[in-house]
Amino acid sequence: MSEHHASAKPASASAKPASAKSAATAQAIVELGAAHYRRARILPRLLPASTLAASNDQIVRDLQNELRKVRARAGHWSYDLNRHISLLQALRAESVSAQQAKGVGS
C-alpha cells in the first residue's frame, strides 16, 4: 500500500497555487488595460461629468473613492466585476499620469 503513495509525483517547486495564478492573471489584466487606457473614452463611464475637468490628483482621489464603493459591494448582487477591473485600470493609468505630471512640473 505504501508503494502506491511513493509513486505519486512530487509537487513542482515552480508550480504556483491556484490563488497565486489568479492574482497574477488579474494583475496582468489590470496592467494591460492600463496600458491601453484612453481618458476621453473611459473616464466618463466611471466618474461623473463634473470631475472630468479636475486635476490629475483629484481624478486619482475620485477613482480611489469609487473603487472603495465598489469593493464595499463585493458579494452583493449589485457588484460589478467589470466595473471593478475598469476602475483599477483607470486608477493605475491616472496614477502614472499624475506622477509624470509632477515629475515634469518639478
**What is the pLDDT, as a whole number, of residue 98?**
87
Alpha helices in the chain (DSSP H): 2-6, 18-35, 39-46, 56-72, 81-105
**What is the pLDDT, as a whole number, of residue 20?**
79
The residue with cell 459591494 is 73
Residue 75 — left, alpha, or beta (φ > 0 → left; ψ -120 to 50 → alpha)?
Answer: left
Alpha-carbon distance of 68 to 63, in angstroms, equals 9
**What is the pLDDT, as a whole number, of residue 67?**
95
What are the phi and psi torsion angles at 42 (to 5°)? -95, -45
**What is the pLDDT, as a whole number, of residue 87?**
94
Nearest to 53 by CA among 66, 44, 63, 45: 44
Mean pLDDT by 10 residues, the chain (106 residues): 49 63 82 85 89 86 94 90 92 90 69
